[in-house]
Amino acid sequence: MTHFVSHIATVEIPVSHVQKSVEWYTDIFGLNVHFQDQNSAMLTFGAKGVPTIYLVETKEQQGLSFRNTNNDVVHSVIDFYTPSLTDFYQWLQEKHVDVGPLNIHPEHGYGGFGFKDPDGNLLSATNILHPGQ
20-40, pLDDT tens digit by residue?
Answer: 999 999 999 999 999 999 999
CATH number of 63-133: 3.10.180.10
Q: What is the pLDDT of residue 83?
A: 92
Quote the CA–CA distance of 129 and 133 in Å, as a whole number. 6
Task: State pTM to two decimals.
Answer: 0.88
% of the chain surpassing 90 pLDDT: 69
Residues of the chain with CATH 3.10.180.10: 8-59, 63-133
State the chain's mean pLDDT as an integer.
91
Residue 104 has φ and ψ, to the nearest 5°, of: -125, 125
Rounded mean pLDDT of 54-83?
Answer: 89
Top pLDDT among 33 and 3 is at 33
Instruction: Say which CATH topology domain 8-59 has.
Output: 2,3-Dihydroxybiphenyl 1,2-Dioxygenase; domain 1 (3.10.180)
Quote the CA–CA distance of 38 and 18 in Å, as a whole number. 7
Residue 16 scores a pLDDT above 90: yes
- For residue 31, the one-letter residue type is L
Top pLDDT among 124 and 65 is at 124
